[in-house]
Each structure stands twice: as structure tokens, then as C-alpha cells.
Structure 1
Amino acid sequence: MTVSPDLVCRDLVKDFDSFRAVDHVTFEVPQGSFFSILGPSGCGKTTLLRMIAGFQSPSSGDLLIKGRSMLGVPPNKRPVSMVFQHLALFPTMNIGDNVGFGLRQRGVARSEIKARVTQVLERVGLPGFSERRVEQLSGGQKQRVAIARCMVLEPDVLLLDEPLGALDLKLREHMKIELKALQSEFNTTFVYITHDQSEALVMSDKVAVMNHGRFEQIGTPHEIYYDPKTAFVAGFVGDANRFDAKVSAKSGSALSMVTQAGTQIEVEADASDLSVGQGAEIFLRPEAIELAKAQADLTVKTNTSVGVVTSVFFNGANSMVSLKDAKAGMSFNVALPQTGAFADLQPGDEVYTSWHPAKARCYAHDGA
């Protein structure tokens, strides 16, 4: 069954004098889905969100909510609500008054406000909190109040502008799970912007990766991580080893490459835009590299080399091991669990490495 979109943006452009902040962006967000816009600072994601909210007007293009164009519709007349990074709770009001503020502005009867505030606080896991003060709440509780204040208005689309950015790491990890659960509970369309790839990958049904005002790729978290369509996506989402190389031979999707360090490597990739002699960027996830203490123990027999451990970084359940190719001097990182045969690796240790040609991603070098 096809789900109709709650939000449609068509060829949106936003110019500030000679600077183009949003550059011909087109996408749809199905009803009841969690859609994240992921990108570095300055890529245009906040400008895009502000156009959806009505705080800024597009230079060209159109955006529709529930099939209705929002061009010329002021923010207070749009069926959207917005959670800001710093939440903007009113410190002089109790929680009930904070949540009911928008309803009072709409002239809703006091008895209905009380009933709706009570109901929405229960749904966000804060029953009986109406009389509490803002300063009595934890960071996570304040986040839920901010969402309750939006959801009590029953918006078609909830916009979230990096709402977890001000939280400490542990609370941020907890709130990622809570936010996704709340989105499922209300079955409301969430449009979420962030520069944190972990937030986007954990919570989203679809992720749009934005760079220089454009969408580089829209896909599921799995697609974005394992099948990045551009070099920017491959390098921005997740950790990756990056090598510059030239194509030395080509047969269909099979490519023989020579890196700048002189290492011969084999890659299986979409090679439609690559020709022999052309420069390319190769990206390889740290977890895609196999380690063994003897070459005979390697299960993958391609792209084998001997590496010397230069450093080991403890990262909780895993370690990131930095290696240098013993012959060509090419450096790369390998992700390893803390347990197993390599739990005691030390700088100076020598190990054998290999990786399957299909594990890498290869892109024509754009010269950037």
C-alpha cells in the first residue's frame, strides 16, 4: 500500500544575495515517518527547515503539506510545530502552562486545555507533572515537555532542529531511543535535522545527506551506510579509510587500482564513470578489513598485505587499530572487538590483513 506524503518539497531554492543556501532540493516525506536531514554545519539544513516552518520564504520552488502549497502561508497558519535546539521553555510557567501555551493562543476552552495537556503528558511519560517547575526537570524530561508542547497542537509535521545538541553524551544516547519511540507512539511525521550521523542512523526511516545546499543521497540508514552513492556520503557517514588511486585495468565491475603509495588493490564497483588511467577515491570501512596472525589464516585471499600496528585506541566494546603497510607505507584503520585473538595488540606488532573487493566503494576523483 502506497502511503501519501505529508510533506513534499519541489525544486526548493533559497538565495541570500549571491549565496545559494539551498540548491534545487526535491524530496517527499510519507505520513507517519521519521525523516532526517544530515549534514555538516553550513550545508543549508537549518535554512531548509525554516522554509518548511514558514520563517523564511523560498526564492523559488514549492512545498506542500497534506497536498496544500504553503507558499505565502504564515508560520502560525501552517500545520507544523517545531522543537528548537534550546527548547525555549518558559521558566516562569509550570509544565502544564508550558504545554498548554499554544492552545491558549488559539483560544481553546480552559477545560479542554487541561484535558489535552493531561493526556499528552501521560503519552510522553510525564503523568502528574503539570504543576512542576521547569528547573525541577532533568534534561531528558525537558526534551519530552518540549515535544508535548508541540504534539498537543496535533501538527501534521513536527520539525526538530538539532534538539539533542545541548545534552551530554549519555543522555543523548538515551533520548535517541525515546524520540523514536515517541514518534511511533504519536504516528506523526518527524523531520529532524542533525550533524550527528549516529542520531540519523539510529532513529530514521529515511536519511537525506546534505552538502553545499544539495541532497547528495536519500535512503534508508542501511543504504546510506553500506551503499553510499557519492564520495562525500562515503566519507561523512561512518568511519572510512580513504585512498587515492588510479585505474590500471578494468573488466566490467572488476577494477585493478594502484594507490599513490604504490599498492596494487582490487575493487568491485560500479565502474561506469571510470576508465583506465583515471584517478579515483576508494573508501573502505574499518570493520571490512580482516586480520590474522599468519597469512594462511586469512579467509579472504584478495588485497592481502602485512601491517605494522602503530596505535591502538580503546573505544568501549571495540578498539580502533591503526596500521601501516609494511611495504608501501599506506596507513589504514581496522575496527576490532575487545575480545578474541587480537585483544592484546600492541604498537609494533605485525599482522596480516585482507579485504574483499566488493567491500570497498570507488568514485571518480572530482579534484576537490
Structure 2
Amino acid sequence: MASAHPDLVCQDLTKDFDAFRAVDHVSFEVPQGSFFSILGPSGCGKTTLLRMIAGFQSPTGGDLRIKGKSMIGVPPNRRPVSMVFQHLALFPTMNIGDNVGFGLRQRGLAKAEIKTRVGEVLERVGLPGVSARRVDQLSGGQKQRVAIARCMVLEPDLLLLDEPLGALDLKLREHMKVELKSLQAAFNTTFVYITHDQSEALVMSDNIAVMNKGRFEQIGPPHAVYHAPDTPFVAGFVGEANKINATITAINGQMMTLATAGAEVKVQRAGADLAIGQDVQVFLRPEAIELLAADPGDALNVCRGVVDTVLFNGANSSVTIRDDRGGLLKVALPQTGSFASLRKGDTVFTRWQPDQARCYPATKG
């Protein structure tokens, strides 16, 4: 069970490269024994942040503490941290046992102790008896576990993972998400995980920090980040979302009336910074939209439309509906039920509830 005491604290951490600010006053805490993911697009600063935690780069400003001790000026080899890279960096000329025990040999431990600890950690990652095998004799998933074993045998306070699943094929990536979460729980070690893949972060994390242009836009558990995004960027980046441009025409308590292109919709108010006459953006998840065969009459947020595309996607189909105003709505449709055989050109009605949408002040661009 995760402790309330943080293993990692970053306070106003900043990194400048000449005139470019890669990390901009980032502050956060990671509790002991938790799985913390930093999610963001390429170039947002997440790898730079991880490299500062590891000690490979020095911050321009701010503080970074591990187990309550400041790491500013402490070299990488003196930090209680291990790191797994995307390409794993296993030594092809060494067998598995020598790969895993490399760090222990660097520390000068006796051969007998190294052998014992290597055997124990390989068993814990589900690879008993493979010490004598070569790296090229292992599958991609087994190599991942060897890379983690090589780090965990050093008993670090933090394990940093820089997009370690990026080089794997889709099926193996899906499998390794579950494996990594299980290994983190088994070792009860704090994981700080860097990824641009939202599904990885949502499946594995206790908390996710969504990063954009050097800043954290939201930190929270996966359910909150997905269902209650704080900003338009988070709403658009984490999961799929329909974006509807609108203007607020009335506010009645927690309910707002919005004018869209040729129609009126109702949305639950989620922020105090919204006012009548203001241009807004509404974000609506595809799975929040219901399909109906007929107009229900007086229901809220109902619109007639025609099926534009149907894309089969395994358990679901992604259906695009072109409404009477020419707008497009993407709908997630299960493969069972009355609409399982939906085809291009079919007429349907869409409906969604006011509390299913998120509304934000409109932003340029």
C-alpha cells in the first residue's frame, strides 16, 4: 500500500536551453510505492524532466528531493535511482545473469552475493533459471523484464522508465502494460513513467501528470483526468473527443444554454469563469453519445443525422454522424445491439446528457 510520504518532490523545477524553456516551473510529489506517469506529446519536456530526476541534466532553477534529500548537484551514480530506456541497453555480449548483476559488480559485491541476488530478482520478474542464456535467446517481453530486473537488483528508491514499450509491437505492448503494473506492485517501488501513449498511462498509473509546453496542465488519477479534464488540452489529448464551438446564451444555476451552428444545446456548468455571450468549446466523448432510431420528442441535446462512415475497431465501431447542420459527431458503437449493422447513409438520431460534456472558454487556434 502506498505511503503518504513522498519519495520524490519537485518544486518549481525549471530547465532552460539558451532562450528555450523546456521545463517551466513544474511542481509535484510522488508518494512512496506509487505508479506515476508523465503523459504528453513529443517535445513537451517530459524526457528532459526525467533526465533531471536521474541527474543526467542539471535544472536551471527549483529543487528536486528524493526521500527528503535535495539532489541538486548530486551526480547520477550517487542518486537512489535506476532507469529503464526505450531500447533497454542490454549488453549483447553478456548472458542474462551478467547483465542483471552488472551494477552489483560495479559496487564491488562478492560473487556469491551477486549470484544470490540475481537469482532472486530474476525469479521475482518471472524468469527463473535463465541466467546462462544469451540476450538474443529472449523474446521482447522477456528482455523488458531483464531490463527491469537489472534495475531492481540495485534496490532503488525510484525506477524511472522512459517510454520503455515504444519499440514493441502492439500485442506485446498491451501485454506489458499489465506486466509492468504487476511488477511495480510486487516490488512496491515508486515508478515514474514517461509516455506519449494515453492508454499506457490510463491502464497503469495511480496518478497521471499531463504535460504540455513544459508545464503540467493537470495531475490526478486516471479516472479524473479522463472524465474531468481541467483544460481543453487535457480534454483533447487524453482520449478521443468531439469538439463543438458554441456561444453561451443563458445560464440558469448549473445549467447553461449554448448556441451552436444552427442548434441549441444544454451543458452543465463546470467553471465560474463562464458568462453569457462568451464563446466556448464543448468537448464530448464518443462513448457519451447515444444513438436512437427515432426522435424522442422533448429530450435534451437530440439531433437528426446521417451515417457518414463506419470503421470497425474490434470490440467497437467508430461511427461518424453528419447532422442536419453539416457538423460531424464521432460515436463509439458496441458490436452488439440494435445498431450493430449500421451502414453509411442510414438516418439516426443522437442524444447526449448535459453532464457528459465539458465546456471551456474558447482559445485561439
| Structure 1 Cα separation of the partners of residues 219 and 29 of structure 2 | 10
User: 1:294: Cα distance to partner?
Assistant: 1.4
Q: Where in structure 2 are the equivalents of 1:20-169 lying within 5 Å?
A: 20-169=21-170
Q: Is it true that 1:336 corresponds to 2:333 in the alignment?
A: yes
Q: Please say if residues 3 and 32 of structure 2, whose CA atoms lie closer than 8 Å, have aligned partners that are also in contact.
A: no
| Structure 1 Cα separation of the partners of residues 119 and 95 of structure 2 | 13
| Structure 1 Cα separation of the partners of residues 124 and 64 of structure 2 | 30
| Structure 2 Cα separation of the partners of residues 5 and 94 of structure 1 | 36
| Structure 1 Cα separation of the partners of residues 293 and 252 of structure 2 | 33
| Structure 1 Cα separation of the partners of residues 168 and 310 of structure 2 | 29
| Structure 1 Cα separation of the partners of residues 263 and 215 of structure 2 | 35
| Structure 2 Cα separation of the partners of residues 295 and 257 of structure 1 | 21
User: 1:274: Cα distance to partner?
Assistant: 1.3
User: 1:258: Cα distance to partner?
Assistant: 1.3
Q: Please say if residues 269 and 362 of structure 1, whose CA atoms lie closer than 8 Å, have aligned partners that are also in contact.
A: yes
Q: Please say if residues 37 and 194 of structure 1, whose CA atoms lie closer than 8 Å, have aligned partners that are also in contact.
A: yes
| Structure 1 Cα separation of the partners of residues 210 and 179 of structure 2 | 23
Q: Which residue of 2 aligns with 1:310?
A: 308
| Structure 1 Cα separation of the partners of residues 4 and 323 of structure 2 | 51
Where do 4+ consecutive residues of structure 1 move more than 3 Å? Answer: none
Q: Where in structure 2 are the equivalents of 1:200-239 lying within 5 Å?
A: 200-239=201-240
Q: Which residue of 2 aligns with 1:249?
A: 250
- How does the TM-score come out when normalised to structure 2? 0.98
User: 1:262: Cα distance to partner?
Assistant: 2.2
Q: Which amino acid is 1:161 matched to?
A: D
RMSD, matched Cα: 1.1
| Structure 1 Cα separation of the partners of residues 73 and 28 of structure 2 | 20
Q: Which residue of 2 aligns with 1:240?
A: 241
| Structure 1 Cα separation of the partners of residues 244 and 212 of structure 2 | 21
Q: Which amino acid is 2:361 matched to?
A: A
User: 1:248: Cα distance to partner?
Assistant: 1.2
Q: Which amino acid is 1:258 matched to?
A: A
Q: Is it true that 1:267 corresponds to 2:267 in the alignment?
A: yes
Q: 1:365 aligns with which of 359, 362, 365?
A: 362
Unmatched segments (≥5 aa) in structure 2? none
| Structure 1 Cα separation of the partners of residues 113 and 294 of structure 2 | 72
Q: Which amino acid is 1:284 matched to?
A: L
Q: Please say if residues 3 and 31 of structure 2, whose CA atoms lie closer than 8 Å, have aligned partners that are also in contact.
A: no
| Structure 2 Cα separation of the partners of residues 77 and 277 of structure 1 | 57
User: 1:5: Cα distance to partner?
Assistant: 0.4
Q: Which amino acid is 1:303 matched to?
A: N
Q: 2:323 aligns with which of 303, 317, 325?
A: 325
Q: Please say if residues 252 and 271 of structure 1, whose CA atoms lie closer than 8 Å, have aligned partners that are also in contact.
A: no
Q: Which residue of 2 aligns with 1:355?
A: 352
SS at match of 1:127: coil
- How does the TM-score come out when normalised to structure 1? 0.97
Residue-by-residue CA offset, 1:270-329 (whole Å, 9 max, x unaligned)? 241111111111000001111111123x8x921011110001000001001100112x11
SS at match of 2:101: helix
SS at match of 1:295: coil
User: 1:263: Cα distance to partner?
Assistant: 2.1
Q: Please say if residues 3 and 33 of structure 2, whose CA atoms lie closer than 8 Å, have aligned partners that are also in contact.
A: no
Q: How many positions carry a matched residue from both structures? A: 364
The structure-2 alpha-carbon separation of the partners of 1:2 and 1:158, relative to structure 1 and needing over 3 Å to count, comes to closer
Q: Please say if residues 324 and 331 of structure 1, whose CA atoms lie closer than 8 Å, have aligned partners that are also in contact.
A: yes
Q: Please say if residues 217 and 224 of structure 1, whose CA atoms lie closer than 8 Å, have aligned partners that are also in contact.
A: yes
User: 1:350: Cα distance to partner?
Assistant: 0.3
Q: Is it true that 1:295 corresponds to 2:292 in the alignment?
A: no
Question: Share of identical aligned residues, percent?
Answer: 71
| Structure 2 Cα separation of the partners of residues 105 and 30 of structure 1 | 29
Q: Which amino acid is 1:208 matched to?
A: A
| Structure 2 Cα separation of the partners of residues 188 and 262 of structure 1 | 54
Q: Which amino acid is 1:295 matched to?
A: D
User: 1:2: Cα distance to partner?
Assistant: 5.9
| Structure 2 Cα separation of the partners of residues 365 and 153 of structure 1 | 50
Unmatched segments (≥5 aa) in structure 1? none
SS at match of 1:266: strand
Q: Which residue of 2 aligns with 1:346?
A: 343
Question: Is the deviation greater in 263-272 or in 219-228?
Answer: 263-272
